[in-house]
Structure 1
């Protein structure tokens, strides 16, 4: 683990331990009041020290973590989890992930709406076959 006397920004730490995908997302969350450090809101440039407690709200879930080591550079998830203790209550860990109200794959859902060109041709062929 890193030494405790070096300065490490909140946004860089949260990005390095993989709470946020990008450092700018971490900074925006700090500015938007989604990150609380030791009970109070925090700015992105505030230095982090071992023992600090964070409450973080992301789109996916809520986090309650305690810093046990300082990590300046992003590493693999298996390494990053060694630098904090996750004290998040179980119900917040298992909260339903954010899902879009309409999941659009680009394909039309079957039997809903107008027929596709292919469906229309088979319908026309079916109808024409009846007249004989």
Structure 2
């Protein structure tokens, strides 16, 4: 029988723990009602106006079904509007609303702050390398 594994040497375990820290910081300093995944949708719409819902899912690294549910929730809360693409009636184009713009503007500074706080454990010259490494892992 194999002995117990040292989970502090396993990337998946450490990534999960890091996500728990992020979620805790987000809830404490950004919002306890809007998740970081929900925030990602209006952020993507600000970054890439006019994209369809599938593109929003890709930009936010969410599967299509959760992205759809988040978009519906944000629509119900009047943070996102929806319209049919006139050139392809099968496509739904989420659109930012005035309320969604206000929501984004109110959350973005604190989202930046917790990002800085998460990266603060690394020396300044290593932060870009850390982000690059995380991006490489997330591309798998």
Please confirm whether the aligned pair reaches a TM-score higher than 0.5, indicating the same fold. Answer: no
TM (normalized to structure 2)? 0.29
TM (normalized to structure 1)? 0.30
Of Structure 1 and Structure 2, the greater helix share is in: 2
Of Structure 1 and Structure 2, the greater strand share is in: 1
